[in-house]
């Protein structure tokens, strides 16, 4: 029998909407990762991958999770019931290659909802290390304004470092009651690719486009980026069956 997996305790939980929440985990083993990588956590022998929000400098592992309700979701309905003090398993090694590609100086980071997670980790680490020489443009798309999760933090980064970070949140259903008062960008994030490539004056030779989250968004970003001759690095959170 394989040895039991290490455990991690939930030390904090913050509910963002009825189906989006953040948790902070304290792992019983030292857990090393690079910004942009993911961990594999489990409960009742069901395991799934979660990109890590926190930077490697933080003591706890922060995750931003979307509930996939039953009967479709398997792990998230179980995780949703877990409050502070409960335990999950954690695979000892982080995985993933969705990390900052240092060969480029400009990084156009496209995401849907929880897809913003790896970018937050990359940017937290970048500022922690007092790095320079890179330019980040984070475009995040949601259906409803309360789904952003990290909009305040990204807006603060952009305000404090206007020559390093630009944050552009967009809402795809502006006409709905829940989005009342939204005066920002509207439309699905993928449909804005060409507009912002032009507005930011991005050059294909020193810009990498990242796409993370909804597989449909990623497919469309790849098609649009290919038409402009830009390269895309992708992280799909699930498969379309
Ligand atoms: C590298 C990687 C990083 C990930 N990071 C995150 C993260 O930071 N936050 C996060 O919430 N999830 C993340 N995911 C998705 C996560 O691993 C689970 O798939 C998700 O939480 C659903 O798990 P589940 O067991 O409840 O449903 P599953 O049993 O995994 O899926 C059930 C069905 O729902 C579909 N599905 C899965 N997720 C979604 C979704 N979000 N919306 C609509 N349909 C979906 C699947 O295609 C499947 O048909 C990541 C996935 C990968 C591969």
Residue of 68, 82, 113 best suited for mutating to test ligand 1, as the one with most atoms within 8 Å of CB: 68
Q: Would the pLDDT of 167 be above 90?
A: yes
Q: Is ligand 1 within 6 A of the CB of residue 112? A: no
Q: Is ligand 1 within 6 A of the CB of residue 124? A: no
Residue 97 in domain: no
Range of the domain at 142: 106-236
Q: Is the entire prediction scored with pTM above 0.75? A: yes
Name the domain count of the chain: 2
pLDDT band at residue 73, thresholds of 50, 70 and 90? very high
Nearest one of 61, 54, 65, 69 to 17, comparing CA atoms: 65
According to DSSP, the residues that pair with 94 across neighbouring strands are none
Are 58 and 26 part of one and the same domain?
A: yes
Q: Would the pLDDT of 56 be above 70?
A: yes
Residue of 73, 75, 93 best suited for mutating to test ligand 1, as the one with most atoms within 8 Å of CB: 73
State the Cα–Cα distance between residues 208 and 106, nearest whole angstrom: 6
Residue 2 in domain: no
Nearest one of 185, 10, 155, 34 to 83, comparing CA atoms: 10
Are 49 and 118 part of one and the same domain?
A: no
Q: Is ligand 1 within 6 A of the CB of residue 38? A: yes
The answer to whether the CB of 184 falls within 8 A of the CB of 174 is no
């Amino acid at each position: 029998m394989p040895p039991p997996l290490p455990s991690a305790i939930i030390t904090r939980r913050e509910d963002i909407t009825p189906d989006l929440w953040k948790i902070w985990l304290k792992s019983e083993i030292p857990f090393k990762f690079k910004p942009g990588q993911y961990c594999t956590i489990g409960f009742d022998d069901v395991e799934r991958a979660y990109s890590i929000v926190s930077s490697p400098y933080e003591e706890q592992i922060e995750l931003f999770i979307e509930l996939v309700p039953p009967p479709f979701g398997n792990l998230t309905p179980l995780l949703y019931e877990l409050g502070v003090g409960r335990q999950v398993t954690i695979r000892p090694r982080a995985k993933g290659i969705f990390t900052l590609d240092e060969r480029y100086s400009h990084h156009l980071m496209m995401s849907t909802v929880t897809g913003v997670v790896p970018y937050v980790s990359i940017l937290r680490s970048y500022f922690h290390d007092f790095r320079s020489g890179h330019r980040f443009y984070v475009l995040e798309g949601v259906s409803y304004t309360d789904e952003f999760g990290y909009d305040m933090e990204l807006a603060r980064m952009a305000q404090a470092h206007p020559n390093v970070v630009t944050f552009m949140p967009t809402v795809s259903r502006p006409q709905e009651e829940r989005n009342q008062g939204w005066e920002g960008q509207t439309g699905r994030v993928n449909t804005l690719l060409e507009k912002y490539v032009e507005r930011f004056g991005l050059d294909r030779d020193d810009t990498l486009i990242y796409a993370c989250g909804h597989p449909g968004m990623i497919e469309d970003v790849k098609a649009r980026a290919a038409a402009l001759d830009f390269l895309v690095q992708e992280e799909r959170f699930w498969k379309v069956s």
